[in-house]
A and B are shown apart, each in its own frame.
Chain A
């Protein structure tokens, strides 16, 4: 069992937890993730390591409530425990040698991007961050990004804060104005990453994407997290949990990935409703 040391709601659907897991805290690097299970009948879900405190032995995770498991997780309070917590999994992001980077995060993907931005900043790289949200009321981590970025642009789809539009807008403008980057690193909804890659491609800037397919074991056993890369005209199957989650954005077959991510949509809507009903009953 793994203890929740602290809990903080970042907005009404995004929560940050610090979990006591010393072995993971010792090891985790930016770009890696953990898999957790809330209880004995629960599903295994992957969440990115959003930060660690090796002295305290804690691991920070930030998650958005989207379905049954994240809803359950959101009901675990400070001092309570979750069943399983394993990691760090996946290959750390390759940041070495990068001097000028643009981080593009969307929604809760910003939580995944934050430790990467922080690591780059610590390395002394020049960091430009573009973080996008649907609207102002779900904006998260602005201060944290401000601290580790040389330049920060916040976008909202509805224009309620910062740049009016989505993240590709300011990215494209910068590139058109002759701005250069060693690399663009983007993390967020698949559709957003697909467009960021398309923009990067236009200007020939390397672009790394962080893929988040459905996972089970996270150790390369089940093959559920597979995705297809187009490498030198060949289609190659890769496993996001061991080969990723970072991939060369130019190679990823996004259309397939988007289709596969909806594999269980109907089932999950059902599970979500059930969990919600369960909690409603408990409250009554």
Chain B
């Protein structure tokens, strides 16, 4: 059979149109396209795609089922390894994971594994009628801290084994970054809500508005609430700033604040009370998924011009390739090899009550060039002396990473962290405290949905082994 060199394209909303609304950009494969894409897989003998998936989804097997049009069968295969396929199919950086290793990709385009996974998961969400069966309780209680992908996965796996699981979430909605960070146009919130509902049907209790370390401590979960084990999946933590002059000006946001206002607090809706600056010219500093999401959100909120300011070049951009492509199509202006050195503010000395005083007026950047590769093989950016210039903007969004949140560490004796503040765990994701497991961004620093999910799975297995002893 002849090899079909190219992936079946993903239907997307028109770039001009979508830049003005929050509807999902990628529309998903039809049954016909999915089957056609499945037929591209050559079922190569050593199936490198499986090893490149952090949770080792049995990719050729599920693809085979798609080929046979047994979509529910395909779902059941994926579900053995992943509890959030509708999410991962959408947001995994497939080009560096499963698809990056696909044999077909050596000469042609790889099989669209993520797109197929999304198709199968959506099919299941739409067509599955039965609620998942509740497993009889084994009488043991586990508390999960945080309802991001790590926590949700851990909770789901344990519930399926009969544990009584309670998820504690600090915010008013469950889902972690999936609800407050990743925007609607990339991951509809309905999908996350459905995944949370599925967990509830399995018997998992979700308690929002509880901050562990404040409302309850880890010790109290054991001593007063009677939990037998705890999983900590509290995420990446506090946003970093660059420590350059002007970061205290009005109009400077962290990406977390900007995205939280837009997503969780629904600032895009006319009905929401939450304020956010709309319109104007926006510079987003950073080059990861978070930066792309902030930039594209700003555009949708009505910005007339949005820049990505990143200190390395296109090749080093850490964001998913597809998101970068979409951002370019939508008209985001990439100012690469530029590094901000100062944020400039408006000041009217004549009138100290001028409401524009203290507002952002521009961002001063310096041009960079790439030097020798560093220890990680990434070429280090070096400033070109005297090349400063000013971008005229009124909003600056910092998307340059996070540092761990001290809330849980500071209130839990004997919980060891590394020098960056990340919780230390062993290969079972057990922390230095008996019965306390951890995983996801709180351990690794900001990473990916699928790796957080994988960590939740490993911990669930560790907890099961520990409590079955």
Measuring CB to CB, which residues of chain A are less than 8 angstroms from any residue of chain B? 23-24, 27, 37, 41-44, 68-69, 83-89, 216-217, 219-224, 226-228, 235, 237, 239, 242, 253, 256, 259-260, 262-268, 271
Contact = CB atoms under 8 A, between A and B. Distances in A.
A169 B241 CA distance: 39
B238 A239 contact: yes
B214 A41 contact: no
B241 A88 contact: no
Contacts of B461: none
B260 A216 contact: yes
Contacts of B357: 259
B247 interface: yes
Contacts of A85: 209
B241 to A, nearest CB: 6
Contacts, number: 117
16 contacts: A27-B214, A43-B273, A68-B273, A216-B260, A216-B265, A217-B170, A219-B170, A219-B407, A221-B180, A223-B241, A224-B257, A242-B238, A256-B358, A259-B357, A260-B248, A266-B355
Contacts of A43: 265, 272-275
Given A260-B248, A266-B355, A44 B265 contact: yes
B376 interface: no
Q: Which 8 A-B pairs have the closest CB atoms?
A: A259-B358, A223-B254, A267-B275, A86-B209, A222-B257, A223-B239, A264-B275, A43-B273
Contacts of B260: 216-217, 221-222
B174 to A, nearest CB: 13
A87 B211 contact: yes
Given A27-B216, A41-B271, 16 more contacts: A27-B214, A41-B266, A43-B272, A216-B265, A219-B405, A220-B405, A221-B238, A223-B238, A223-B257, A237-B241, A242-B405, A259-B249, A260-B248, A262-B355, A262-B358, A265-B355
A83 B208 CA distance: 11
Interface in B191-220: 208-211, 214-216
Interface in B261-307: 261, 265-266, 269, 271-275
A86 B251 CA distance: 27
A222 B239 contact: yes
B82 interface: no
A42 B273 contact: yes
Task: Label chain B's interface by main secondary structure.
Answer: loop
A68 B214 CA distance: 28
B437 interface: no
Contacts of A268: 275
Contacts of B274: 43
Contacts of A222: 239, 254, 256-257, 260
A217 B407 CA distance: 13
B248 A256 contact: yes
Interface of B: 170-172, 180, 208-211, 214-216, 235, 237-239, 241, 243, 247-251, 253-254, 256-257, 260-261, 265-266, 269, 271-275, 355, 357-358, 405-407
A221 B405 contact: yes
Contacts of B250: 259-260, 262-263
A268 B276 CA distance: 10
A221 B256 contact: yes
B75 to A, nearest CB: 32
Given A221-B405, A224-B254, A228-B248, A84 B172 contact: yes
A44 B170 CA distance: 13
B27 to A, nearest CB: 28
Contacts of B235: 221
Identify which of B209, B272, B273 gathers the most chain A CB atoms within 10 Å of its CB.
B273
Contacts of B261: 216
Nearest to B215: A23
A84 B216 CA distance: 17
A211 B254 CA distance: 20
Identify which of A69, A85, A87 gathers the most chain B CB atoms within 10 Å of its CB.
A87
Contacts of B216: 23, 27
Contacts of A42: 273
B193 to A, nearest CB: 13
Contact of A223 (B251, B256, B272): B256
Contacts of A217: 170-171, 260
